[in-house]
A and B are shown apart, each in its own frame.
Chain A
Amino acid sequence: EAGVAQSPRYKIIEKRQSVAFWCNPISGHATLYWYQQILGQGPKLLIQFQNNGVVDDSQLPKDRFSAERLKGVDSTLKIQPAKLEDSAVYLCASSLGGQVFKRETQYFGPGTRLLVL
């Protein structure tokens, strides 16, 4: 079974530029998550999708971050414009999402390392 795919693996940009990350979850997984992991910290949830709808985006800095999952499969996370403090690893994860209250295991992709100069 193929895992969660992410691209690119690495990205270096200058502040105020834009960047986009792509994620393809495990086939059949309805729930998709984007996390931000700053060096030395645990992952922080940015946004959670159930199919193509947003379940939780309470920690997403909406003035500069946006995410979409238009067809309920793959997803794109965008930062525009980037700031120095956005340097982090952006992790995508997915889970079956069969029931809203089910305590499911999340499976993570390899992440995209972003460096903002």
Chain B
Amino acid sequence: GNSVTQMEGPVTLSEEAFLTINCTYTATGYLSLFWYVQYPGEGLQLLLKATKADDKGSNKGFEATYRKETTSFHLEKGSVQVSDSAVYFCALTGGYQKVTFGTGTKLQVIP
């Protein structure tokens, strides 16, 4: 079956630092890749997505590129803020709309 592997957390960064959260996957076929964010006490919110190879998803300064050759969808942001502190989930879906999530990476940004 499909699987998603994320880098272990927690990740602690100072404000304005560069962020990378690695995500790799094992899956075949036509995929869509997603990054969801979960703020404390809340449900998951879609952050960005990419629906075909070499697509770049972007939102709120976050970016991720669907790299089929390396089966990766790493999340990046050039300058993080304290308000970005949350848990980030990488996910994918193929046929039948079934979504497979990674285990999440907790990001803590300190002032």
* Chain A residues within CB distance 8 Å of chain B: 4, 6, 31, 33, 40-45, 48, 55-56, 91, 93, 95, 97, 100-111
* Chain B residues within CB distance 8 Å of chain A: 4, 30-32, 34, 36, 42-46, 49, 51, 89, 91, 93-99, 101-104
- A-B pair count, CB < 8 Å, reads 66
Q: How far in angstroms is the closest Cβ of chain B from A80? A: 24
The answer to whether A107 and B46 have CB atoms under 8 Å apart is yes
Cα–Cα distance between A48 and B100 once the two chains are bound (Å): 13
Closest 7 CB pairs of A and B: A42-B101, A103-B32, A108-B44, A110-B43, A108-B43, A111-B43, A101-B95
Q: Which of B31, B44, B96, B101 has the most CB of A within 10 A?
A: B44
The answer to whether B103 and A102 have CB atoms under 8 Å apart is no
Q: How far in angstroms is the closest Cβ of chain A from B35? A: 12
Cα–Cα distance between A44 and B101 once the two chains are bound (Å): 8
Residue of A nearest to B31 (CB): A103
Besides A4-B43, A56-B96, A103-B95, 7 more A-B contacts (Cβ < 8 Å) are A41-B104, A42-B89, A43-B44, A97-B97, A102-B97, A109-B43, A111-B43
